[in-house]
Structure 1
């Protein structure tokens, strides 16, 4: 699942990951993400930080309340060291990916996230 308030980002990730046979469900807000989690069981979530209504930090906590095992990667333009440290060490996000991203690197990271989910369910 990709959670981003920018439709173009969701469309781009659907296209890029679709070439790798990775199905993507898009959510345009944290609220929509949580609603989708009631009907969809994603293998991983890519979560933007800067969104209206419910930001990525708050959304992250609510995702983990619903499913503590789901791998979540932060995907953001925020490339400051403080934000990376907060995402990885404080939130315990499984990855921190900055935009713009390299397609090959992104795909490898997504496969790693999916393998984390598979390990957690065994």
Structure 2
């Protein structure tokens, strides 16, 4: 159970950013699914059943904020990392956290920082699931 491959749904419309994320995360052994806009991202949630969603804020058709909101209302167990250049506009970042985002990385980002943040979310999730199993079996 420990070595199951983690699935990440990346919702990003910038092709170069997608390539960078694919390079960094696939090298770490994660399985990636890419969605080019908010609507496609929401549609892929059901079919992919990801362990993590990484989304931009500014997306075609549905914004990253709408995506976060949808994920947290329908798939509350799935963590969300926002990767965006909206860092200067604190209101947007706060709104993302208020909607349930688990972490925020501003573009441009350090690849190692992203790897560490993704790993930290998976470690935290694994610890929580272990704690829940222990509590249930007690």
TM-score by length of structure 1 reads: 0.89
- 2:128 & 2:76 partners in 1: Cα distance? 10
**Residues 71 and 116 in structure 1, CA contact (< 8 A), matched pair in contact too:** no
Q: Which has the higher helix share?
A: 2
Q: CA deviation at 1:7?
A: 2.0
Structure 2 counterparts to residues 8-23 of structure 1, below 5 A = 8-23=16-31
> For the pair shown, which has the larger CA radius of gyration, 1 or 2?
2
5+ residue gaps, structure 1, are none
Instruction: Look up the match of 2:38.
Output: 30
Paired residue total: 121
5+ residue gaps, structure 2, are 1-8, 131-138
Higher relative contact order (CA 8 A, sep 6+): 1
TM-score by length of structure 2 reads: 0.79
**Residues 79 and 102 in structure 2, CA contact (< 8 A), matched pair in contact too:** yes
Instruction: Look up the match of 2:91.
Output: 82
Moved over 6 A (4+): none
RMSD of aligned residue pairs (Cα, Å): 1.5
